[in-house]
Structure 1
Amino acid sequence: MACLALPPPRWLAASPAAIWDYGLGLSATIPVLISTPGHPMQKSMGLIGLGETIFSWPILLTALVVLVTLPLLNAALHPRQGEQVTEIDASQYIAKDESGQSVDGLFADNTVATRLNNSRLLSLAVGLLGLGYVAVSFLRGANLDLNKVNFLILFLGILLLRTPAQYIAKLNEGIKTITGIILQYPFYAGIMAIMAGSGLVDSVSRVFVDVANQQTLPFWGLLSSFLINFFAPSGGGHWAIQGPFMIEAARALNSSLAQTSMAVMLGNAWNDLVQPFWILPALALSRLKLKDVMGYTVICMFWVGAIYICTVLLWGCLGHP
């Protein structure tokens, strides 16, 4: 059988499973934070040592399963030896933006995303909102500092370069390896602030927590964390806005604080497989786009999600401290 697709890049399939393993090791933000004396939530939850979180036997076993099975899954995504692979001809799907410049993308003319990327109205609205915020902050007595300068440069660029697609193209000419980080993180910081200030994080968490009990709270914490991470993709920032509510719920249900904290961490890490900011430098070096590898990371997301769900459910039912 022939495969009509781009085969996965070798560096993706051959990468160590540790790349996908954020949340299970010493790079896990939440368990490291809550084991540190003086952490922001120490008064409500105390200190929880690493022996109860990333070095507990359920998590060590989970890490082992991921480390063994994920490279096998990645290898299985490659075409078999001798199998015919027909690469997609991207030239068949070239679209034109308002200025007549080429914009590649699968059926680009018919997607909402492409229309938004080439919308002058969207750039105008976003640029004016950003500059309006700066104007209001100055009227309220704010000073011009480095953050404000960066903010002005970002939103002036959005306003002056007509469309989001043209802005990204210009950024790629000068800072190709870090364009995604510079452009996306300020917006995610804003989304995170809205999530926290509006109480939306508490609302999302409460929906899950209301159906939880002592044993299943970590499971619902995992799912709510996965959902919230779409809007707040940062381990520390994520915990700062979801942690207080989850701690309160764990105390009310007499559920394990260690398990609940790790469930939030695993949900955050699980979601990173479909929001892989960590892969941006590798994409720049390999001259690939996120859409070229997203299909493979989504498959990994399903597999890792199944492992994490089994972990938190069994861990909660076993009553491990």
Structure 2
Amino acid sequence: MIQSIAKGLTSVVSRYLPDPLIFAILLTIIVFFASWGMTPTDPAQLVTMWGDGFWSLLAFGMQMALIVVTGHALASSGPVKNILRSTAAMANSPANGVMLVTFVGSVCCAIQWGFGLVVGAMLAKEVARRVKGSDYRLLIACAYISFLTWHGGLSSSIALMAATPGNPVESITGLIPVKDTLLTSYNLFITFGLIIIMPFVTRMMMPKAEDVVSVDPALLAEDPDFQKKLGPDASFAEKIEESRILSWIVGALGFVYLGMYLYKTNFNVTINTVNLAFLVLGIMLHKTPMAYMRAITAAARSTAGILVQFPFYAGIHLMMEKSGLGGLITQWFIDISSKDTFPILTFFSSAIINFAIPSGGGHWVVQGPFVMPAAQALGADLGKSAMAIAYGEAWMNMAQPFWALPPLAIAGLGVRDIMGYCVTALIFSMFIFLIGLAFL
């Protein structure tokens, strides 16, 4: 059954889903007219909101780009690549390869989402190199399906922002520590449930032998070696650029700072601390500053789609926020909620808004000021309410191609190659989220 659903959805998606940039432009038009028709905002105001919003999330966009490039650079370091090769060797059949990529990617996304997306894509390529008969589209889809776990893990932007001073909802609820979000029984159930169950789901998506799409060998070329060997006549500048001592100094400074910061803040992990940890670790594993810089240069290519599209989503974000459309959608779900149904309905409202705002932090800005006071009024659990926003965003990413751009850039594929499989994962992962929110 799952195989048939995946095949049917892949056929539909390949025919009707446009390029992610066109998708963003179409969403801009839809949100514009929906805001005009459903709120008191006039067209001139909406145009102003869109233009003002276009550059309103540059700081957050920089954080997201850094997550991708630092994760990619870390994954391309020699020690991590050796681990990937050893891990890929565990797959001795196409079915095992699919399960392996889903499992490893899910674990890595729970640790750090940018790192997980990149590791999943690189592991998928390594499995495709080693295992004959693998369907390359499904392997890369598995890398993106792994993204389902990210909001339950260490780089969950909503859980981290809710615990970070100065976030948009602090004045309403106060800070919500990670022990009330990430370390709860329902989050552990959902996150581990996705890690354990989704590999079996993706295995059942495998196409029949005659429908398998093999990889173009050109897409599986080995990554370059970023190390540079210096000759005996190397200049002082070249020697200092390739100095391992500098990398160790930066690494020591970074990890001493992180240790002091986490001790002082009672282990308050934020987006910035995650980025710093992966940056300094990447510098150390690449051995020299310029080797790391070459890895970053290669990694930056995978952010091209994000850099172009993020301003469009920032414009959409501000139209939804300032016009009140996002709050209107959220409020409708709140109005039909009770204390017991509140997390589930919040989950679905977040999923709908994710089409226009595929950003965990953006969701917190748009939905948090509506959801959290309502949770207080109903007596609902504040941590679970915040995580319901996060889960809805993570879940609907399977139908929103925005964050598929990094693994697709690494793989050399297009969004239509994988989204049918991802929408299939959307259908079957829903039950894991709902069980955790409703019963734990």
How far apart are the structure 2 equivalents of 1:180 and 1:38?
29
How far apart are the structure 1 equivalents of 2:155 and 2:436?
19
Residues 8 and 77, structure 1, Cα contact 8 Å, conserved in 2: no
For structure 1, which segment, 36-45 or 264-273, has the greater mean C-alpha deviation from structure 2 after superposition? 36-45
* 1:224-271 CA distance string (max 9 Å, x none): 000011111111121111101001111111111111111001011111
Residues 141 and 418, structure 2, Cα contact 8 Å, conserved in 1: no
- Structure 2 residue 197 is matched with structure 1 residue 72: no
Offset at residue 284 of structure 1 (A): 2.3
Q: Which residue of 1 aligns with 2:210?
A: 84
Query: TM-score normalized by structure 2?
Result: 0.48
Percentage of pairs with the same residue: 33
Residues 15 and 71, structure 1, Cα contact 8 Å, conserved in 2: no
Aligned AA (1:298): V
What is the aligned counterpart of 2:148 among 3, 12, 20?
Answer: 20
Q: Which residue of 1 aligns with 2:184?
A: 56
What RMSD over aligned residues (CA atoms) do the two structures have, in Å?
A: 2.7
The 5-angstrom pairing of residues 173-252 of structure 1 reads 177-252=302-377
Offset at residue 309 of structure 1 (A): 1.6
Aligned AA (1:304): S
How far apart are the structure 2 equivalents of 1:195 and 1:249?
19
CA distance change for structure 1 residues 203 and 16 in 2, over 3 Å: closer, same or farther? closer
What is the aligned counterpart of 1:256 among 349, 372, 381?
Answer: 381
How far apart are the structure 1 equivalents of 2:170 and 2:368?
11
Aligned AA (2:351): F
Q: Which residue of 1 aligns with 2:168?
A: 40
Query: When you count helix as a share of all residues, which structure comes out higher?
Result: 2
Offset at residue 14 of structure 1 (A): 5.5
Q: Which residue of 2 aligns with 1:279?
A: 404
Aligned AA (1:71): P
SS in 2 for 1:9: helix
How far apart are the structure 1 equivalents of 2:350 and 2:141?
27
Offset at residue 280 of structure 1 (A): 1.2
Aligned AA (2:321): A
Residues 343 and 438, structure 2, Cα contact 8 Å, conserved in 1: yes
Offset at residue 13 of structure 1 (A): 5.7
Query: TM-score normalized by structure 1?
Result: 0.64
Aligned AA (1:300): A
Gap regions ≥5 residues in structure 2? 12-134, 215-299
SS in 1 for 2:152: coil
Offset at residue 198 of structure 1 (A): 0.5
Q: Which residue of 1 aligns with 2:263?
A: none
How far apart are the structure 2 equivalents of 1:16 and 1:65?
17
How far apart are the structure 2 equivalents of 1:18 and 1:24?
12
What is the aligned counterpart of 2:157 among 29, 33, 53?
Answer: 29
Number of equivalences: 227
